[in-house]
Structure 1
Amino acid sequence: MTVRSIAAAAATLAVLCGCAPPAAPTNDPSASPTTTAASSNPFSLFTHCGIYEIQVQHTFFVADQPLDDGHGNPPAGWANPYQPGTITVAGFTAVFHDDTGHAVTFHERPGATSFLRTCS
């Protein structure tokens, strides 16, 4: 095939693709996009060295306000090494809640593949 043949074929294809009639509007509500409500799932928050970050499935999140007792332990009133509760992920935010009233908000670290800190 010559360069002219390739150029002619490309031009014809571009014209044909651009000439389709507009799609007919639809009144079918099932075809409309839907939003999914965020759901809470049971979650054991690792607290042993303080509360800094979490991993939910394959996504890493960092605490908006890290929590510790100043000596690398969880703050008073938190279980050690884990605090049972629930996690709710909505968009780039994850919120941990427990039955004692604790709440911690985390934000996603896009592209992260590991934790920022390790705990011994």
Structure 2
Amino acid sequence: MLDTILNKLMKTTPLEKEQLKNLEFHNDLPIDVYDSALSQKERTPIISNALFKNKNIYVSKHNRYAEYPTHSHTFLEINYMLRGSCDEVVEGQPVHLEQGDVLLLDVGCKHSV
């Protein structure tokens, strides 16, 4: 991986700095990406494909230093552990990821990090 890309991914963002202070989750997604009807029915936040903004693929870095609460999606999610490790809960089952691991999450799969 190019050093410029790796350095950008490893840099602590302002939101991560806030999470590091109190180890509490701070949501960075706009409210309009949530499917409110499904979320109320399932009682779990559901992130819709509005996140894609007319694109086929959405790539993002997961914020660090705080747990990400249980949620699901109306799309597939691929997690790649670039550095370090983390623990996820996928449909109630613990999953431990190490550097280089890939996790594929199906549509509607409830998970937290």
What is the TM-score with the length of structure 1 in the denominator? 0.20
Higher Cα radius of gyration? 1
Q: Which has the higher helix share?
A: 2
Q: Which has the higher strand share?
A: 1
What is the TM-score with the length of structure 2 in the denominator? 0.21
